[in-house]
């Protein structure tokens, strides 16, 4: 049974500030969820299969990160190892004017990301269907996000030279950060025992 937009909104309440969401956010999240469930039935995009859990864990945590990008909003954002789009795609839905690049090296996941960006009509989303390390050296981003990457140390090595201002990590452990980045106190992510948001500023 698909979730209605109002069910999605209710599940997201703990993660969102009590302000009206941007126009089109709930319809876009609803379409994204439908696509994810459809694709996940035949190809393994995410191990979480329960729609409510997808909304809470993937959408909710990503949107929570999207509300901690700082003020003013970043000029550009790279989501390194985006998988099925987390946290980068919900952030792009929350901030449709923010140019977001999703780097994902697995072809089937990158194809899915393209399909979602096309269907949701998100013109500011770019899919980099290869390793982030292969982006041209001149490509830098105000903010680089990382969530659930398999090898955090390697991902941080790839992320650091790309981030002109900050790294934003969704993680359960505090990793050793590159020395040019200074962490702020971690922020607990709602409804989880262990996950934190760790923002680190280039100094
Ligand atoms: C465990 S998944 C997590 C995906 C997503 N961030 C999430 O939280 O659901 C990690 C993904 O990162 C991708 N990945 C790892 N290192 C990468 C790199 N250097 N460049 C691009 N993609 C990378 C992998 O292909 C994989 O799909």
pLDDT for the residue 112: 98
Residue to mutate (ligand 1; options 105, 151, 156; most atoms within 8 A of CB): 105
Q: How far is the CA of 133 from the centre of ligand 1 (A)?
A: 12
pLDDT for the residue 1: 65
Q: How far is the CA of 101 from the centre of ligand 1 (A)?
A: 13
The angle subtended at Cα 10 by Cα 2 and Cα 110, nearest 5°, is 55
φ, ψ for residue 129 (rounded to 5)?
A: -90, 60
pLDDT for the residue 26: 96
pLDDT for the residue 167: 98
Q: How far is the CA of 20 from the centre of ligand 1 (A)?
A: 31
| Structural domain range at position 15 | 5-202
What's the CA gap between 19 and 195, in Å, rounded? 24
ipTM (interface pTM): 0.99
Our count of domains for the chain comes to 1
Nearest to 68 by CA among 162, 194, 200, 203: 200
pLDDT for the residue 194: 86
81 marked as binding residue: yes
Global confidence as pTM: 0.97
Ligand 1: residues whose CB is within 6 Å?
80-84, 86, 103-106, 109, 131-133, 147-150, 155, 158
What's the CA gap between 163 and 15, in Å, rounded? 25
CATH number of the domain to which 137 belongs? 3.40.50.150
List the pLDDT tens digit at each of the 203 positions of the chain: 679 999 999 999 999 998 888 989 999 999 999 999 999 999 999 999 999 999 999 999 999 999 999 999 999 999 999 999 999 999 999 999 999 999 999 999 999 999 999 999 999 999 999 999 999 999 999 999 999 998 999 999 999 999 999 999 999 999 999 999 999 999 999 998 889 999 999 99
pLDDT digits (tens, 9 = 90+) for 117-141: 999 999 999 999 999 999 999 999 9
Nearest to 61 by CA among 143, 184, 171, 174: 171
- What CA–CA distances, in Å, run from 31 to 8, 34, 37, 93, 151? 11, 5, 10, 12, 31
pLDDT for the residue 20: 87
């Amino acid at each position: 049974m698909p979730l209605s937009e109002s069910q999605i909104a209710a599940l997201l309440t703990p993660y969102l500030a009590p302000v009206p969401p941007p126009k089109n956010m709930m319809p876009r999240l609803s379409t994204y969820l439908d696509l994810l469930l459809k694709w996940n039935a035949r190809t393994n995009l995410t191990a979480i299969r329960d729609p409510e859990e997808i909304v809470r864990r993937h959408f909710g945590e990503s949107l929570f990160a999207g509300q901690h990008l700082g003020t003013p909003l970043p000029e550009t954002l790279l989501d390194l190892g985006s998988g099925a789009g987390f946290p980068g795609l919900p952030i792009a839905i929350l901030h449709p004017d923010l140019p977001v690049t999703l780097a994902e090296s697995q072809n089937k996941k990158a194809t899915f990301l393209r399909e979602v960006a096309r269907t949701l009509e998100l013109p500011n989303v770019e899919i980099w269907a290869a390793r982030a390390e292969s982006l041209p050296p001149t490509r830098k981003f105000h903010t680089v996000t990382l969530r659930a990457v398999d090898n955090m140390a390697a991902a941080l090595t790839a992320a650091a030279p790309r981030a002109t201002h900050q790294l934003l990590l969704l993680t359960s452990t505090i990793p050793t950060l590159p020395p040019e980045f200074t962490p702020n106190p971690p922020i607990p992510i709602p409804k989880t025992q262990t996950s934190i948001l760790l923002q680190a500023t280039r100094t």
